[in-house]
Amino acid sequence: MIAQVVFTVLLIAVMLVAFAQLSRIPLVGGVVICVALFGAYIVWMPDQATYLANLIGIGRGADLVLYVWVLISCAILLLLYLNLREQLQLITALARRMALADAAGGETPRSARQNTQAK
- Rounded to the nearest 5 degrees, what angle is found at the Cα of 100, between the Cα atoms of 95 and 101? 95
Q: Which of 36, 9, 8, 10 is nearest to 22 (CA)?
A: 36
Q: How far is CA 32 from CA 18, 36, 85, in A?
A: 6, 6, 23
The pTM of this model reads 0.65
Question: pLDDT tens digits, residue range 19-78?
Answer: 998 888 888 888 889 999 999 999 999 899 999 999 999 989 889 889 988 998 998 899
**pLDDT score, position 111:** 56
Cα–Cα distance, 16 to 119 (Å, whole number): 50
Whether 101 has a pLDDT exceeding 80, the answer reads: yes
Split at pLDDT 50, 70, 90, the class of 13 is very high
